[in-house]
Structure formats: structure tokens, C-alpha cells
Amino acid sequence: MNGNQYRALPTQRRSRSGRLACRLVFVASLISSAATTAFAEGDAVRGKTVFNRCGTCHSTTGQNRMGPSLDGIFGRTAGGKTGARYSNALKNSGIVWNDENLDRFLYAPRQVVPGTTMTIDVRQAQDRADIIAFLKTLAPAAADATQE
């Protein structure tokens, strides 16, 4: 009668956070990309040609350019090339380069090592496999050996 009406509080709408879903999609995409690339055969000869796009920044003979020389990269600890300039992110990553983590890194460096200054994505699985096969052929350069 006096107009005093009960007012319901606005119902709290719980927006279901999309964050978890995003993460799951991200993880799933990593898993599926690993699954589809795991058996790609690498061709080192073709890899040497594909590597041309890396050569502006990376030599394979010991000289560090914008990026470290990639001689002896396979089995080396990330950020471990003597005299090269690295981000703290890569130096502290604890990665020891092998087929699997090179494949993931080359696919999306900034996702694997957030904060890295290596920003080139190699999206084609065959290109990554061929590059990795080529990188495996690179023994440590003599210049590096003398710095021991």
C-alpha cells in the first residue's frame, strides 16, 4: 500500500571466464602440432636452402650477427654461444636444443620462450624438419673450439 516494494538485487551474472578455455585451446593446439610434425622427415640439403631466410641474422660458421652463430647448435644449451647477445629469457630458459624443442621453438619462438628476441616463425612443418636436419650437420666452428 505504501509503495514499498521489495527490490530484488540484480542477479549476479557470473560470466564464465573464457581464460581457461583459451588455455585449453592453446595447449591442445601445441599437442596437435607436435603430433602432426613428430614424424616429419628432414632433408638437410633442402634445409640449407630454407635456411637462407635465417642467414641475415645467423651465420653457421662462428660469427655472431644479430643472432648467434648456429654452428654446433644441436645439443647446446640455449643462449650458450660464446660472444653472442642473448635475451635473459632465452639464457634462463634451460633448454638444451634437440629435435623436439627446436621444432616447437621454430614454430612459435615467442610462445616457447616469452621475451625472446628471436621472432621468426617457421609455420611449415616440412621447412622446420629440413632446417633441423641441416642444423644437425653443423659441427662447432673452429673459432668456437679455440675459445674453450
Confirm or reject binding of residue 111 to ligand HEC (CB under 6 A). Answer: no
Q: Closest distance between ligand HEC and the C-beta of residue 26, in Å?
A: 21
Of residues 86 and 140, the one with the C-beta less far from ligand HEC: 86
Q: Closest distance between ligand HEC and the C-beta of residue 58, in Å?
A: 5
Q: Which residue is nearest to ligand HEC (CB)?
A: 54
Hunting for cell 621454430 — which residue is that? Answer: 106
* Residues 6+ positions from 82 with CB-CB distance below 8 Å: 144, 147
Cell reading at 12: 549476479
Letters for 75-104 (x = contact with ligand HEC by CB under 6 A, - = none) are: ---xxxx----xx-xx--------------
Letters for 60-79 (x = contact with ligand HEC by CB under 6 A, - = none) are: ------xxx-x--x----xx
- In one-letter notation, the amino acid at residue 45 is V
User: What is the rounded (10 degree) CA torsion for 27, 115, 64, 121?
Assistant: 40
The full length of the chain comes to: 148
Confirm or reject binding of residue 117 to ligand HEC (CB under 6 A). Answer: yes
Contact of 80 with 144, CB cutoff 8 Å: no
* Nearest-angstrom CA–CA distance, 90 and 92: 5
The residues of the shown chain that bind ligand HEC, judged by CB under 6 A, are 53-54, 56-58, 66-68, 70, 73, 78-81, 86-87, 89-90, 106, 116-118, 120, 122, 131
